Amino acid sequence: MTTWLYQMSAESYSIQEYRKEIWEGEIIKWPTGKVRTESGERLAEGDTIIFVFVKTGTHEAGIYGWGILTDLKKEKELIFFRPTYPSDYLKMNPIWDDEISSLLDAIRGSVKVGTMWKISTDHAAKIRGKIHTWMK
């Protein structure tokens, strides 16, 4: 299974709307936007998605949650996902520090504008570790 970064901007989707819409266990439908990979990999059911608000336009940047991809509608460029624990906590207490900022830069490479990026196994492990540490 693959892990993906889903990048959001407070300029186009408010943090308040995210907090109202996203609840653990619910099935959510969102557009995929531009999916960026070096190897041409595709989204697949069961993949993990990590949700991040970028610094642009907000003082509340950070990791806001994660979830499991449950369905795809390729012809409509839609994903269906289920937010999982600790997304309800993270949306109110996002993770942001220099390490997260550096990890995001490494994941996105030279192209910072877009919606989704494939996350390497090493970067995914670091983000998971940050989430687990944050929850202690």
Reported as a single tens digit per residue, the pLDDT across 16-42 is: 999 999 999 999 998 887 676 667 778
Reported as a single tens digit per residue, the pLDDT across 40-85 is: 778 889 999 999 998 887 889 999 999 999 998 766 688 899 999 9
Q: CATH for 3-131?
A: 3.10.590
Domain ranges in the chain? 3-131
Question: Strands (DSSP E) along 16-115, which ranges?
Answer: 28-31, 35-36, 48-53, 62-73, 78-84
Mean pLDDT (whole number) for 94-120 = 90
Predicted TM-score of the model (pTM): 0.90
The two tokens of residue 67 are 């979830």
N- to C-terminal Cα separation, the chain: 26
